Amino acid sequence: MILTVTLNTALDVTYRVPRLHPHASHRVTDVTERPGGKGVNVARVLAALGHEVTATGFAGGRTGAVVRELLAGCPGVTDALVPCAGTTRRTLAVVDEASGDTTQFNEPGPLVGSAEWTAFLARYEDLLAGARAVALCGSLPPGVPVGAYAVLVRAARAAGVPVLLDTSGEALRRGVAARPEVIKPNAAELAELTGSRDPLPATRDARRRGAHAVVTSLGPDGLLAVTDQGTWQAAPPRVLSGNPTGAGDSAVAGLLSALTEGLDWPARLIRAVALSAATVRAPTAGEFDPRTYEEVRGSVKVTQAG
């Protein structure tokens, strides 16, 4: 199975409004709720691709109970979330139907105590025994040590399990030094890590900091990968309109699924770009439009860079 870790799980709530106006009341035309957080989104996409997936992290309070109830309805995803005393956060996305733009509000998450963190580490090490790969995704909830991902990367490496790390800030800075198999920053996260806004030298710099491979998300321009086997850029055939929330999580699912299947880097990037584009055309994060996926997958352009 593939293991996904979402330390800061969420209940993702999406509102759709005809047009978003600041300082005004709005009539919501549609509301959806999904189990969320980056790793949970990755798990749902992996399951849709036919992979056996286990999702772990923290869940607590009434919101956590709703997340677990909804997760039970996701075929192919096994719930291995660890209880915590605090209440799982909510994220609120407001979709402006006129423009297609999305405005996001993210709560900070529950305060995790030291005993809860210790319980999670024990569960994580047990789960690694049956994992083919692991994705470590998203922000850290309050109370979790800032070096948490470095600890989790080292545990996975000791167990012989390849790790993909998708986080930001100091958690990324410390995590990359633990030498994960892959990191997947976006352009802003990469610039924060390296101090450079030039994608190619910044991606190379990030790899020198410890990761075996760095795959940078360039938004509508696709992905840039610097690996020990070469450097490539993969781009979709055209820019697709829609909701970009969760597109990066789908790229992670594409990279991780292709890694476990033994595909080469160009094939991994093609899958990741196609899934990312297909998620833009889906109504909520953690889903992708199958027709768009098949269409884009056959048209992704992969070129060697640098």
Q: What is the pLDDT of residues 23-76, one digit of tens each?
A: 989 899 988 899 999 999 999 999 999 999 999 999 999 999 999 999 999 999
Which backbone phi and psi does 189 adopt, to 5 degrees?
A: -65, -40
Residue 245 has pLDDT above 80, yes or no: no
pLDDT in tens, 274-302: 999 888 877 776 788 888 878 888 888 88
CA distance 276 to 257: 14
Query: Which of left, alpha, beta for 259 (phi over 0: left; psi -120 to 50: alpha)?
Result: alpha
Catalytic residue from among 12, 249, 264, 289: 249
Query: Distance from CA of residue 200 to its chain's centroid?
Result: 22
Dist. CA 269–CA 233, nearest whole Å:
8
pLDDT band at 98 (very low <50, low <70, confident <90, very high): confident
Q: What is the pLDDT of residues 108-148, one digit of tens each?
A: 999 999 999 999 999 999 999 999 999 999 999 999 999 99
In this structure, is the dihedral angle defined by the CA atoms of residues 260, 264, 268 and 270, taken in order, positive or negative?
negative
pLDDT value of position 296: 83
Considering the chain, what is the average pLDDT of its residues?
Answer: 92
Q: Is 226 helix (H, G, I), strand (E, B) or coil?
A: strand
Q: What is the percent of the chain with per-residue pLDDT over 70, rounded to a whole number? A: 97
Instruction: Write down the pLDDT at residue 95.
Output: 85
% the chain with pLDDT above 90 = 75
pLDDT above 80 for 306: no
- Answer yes or no: 249 catalytic: yes
Q: Which residue has the tokens 């800030």?
A: 169
How much is the pTM? 0.93
* Residue 257 pLDDT class (50, 70, 90 cuts): very high
Q: Averaged over 156-170, what is the pLDDT?
A: 97
Buried b (16+ CB within 10 A) or exposed e, 178-188: bebbbbbbbbe
Q: Judge whether 174 and 145 are in contact, CB under 8 Å.
A: no
Q: What are the C-alpha distances in Å from 93 to residues 23, 154, 199?
A: 17, 34, 28
In this predicted structure, the answer to whether residue 175 has a pLDDT above a threshold of 70 is yes
Separation of alpha carbons 185 and 209, rounded Å: 13
pLDDT tens digits along 214-223: 999 998 889 9
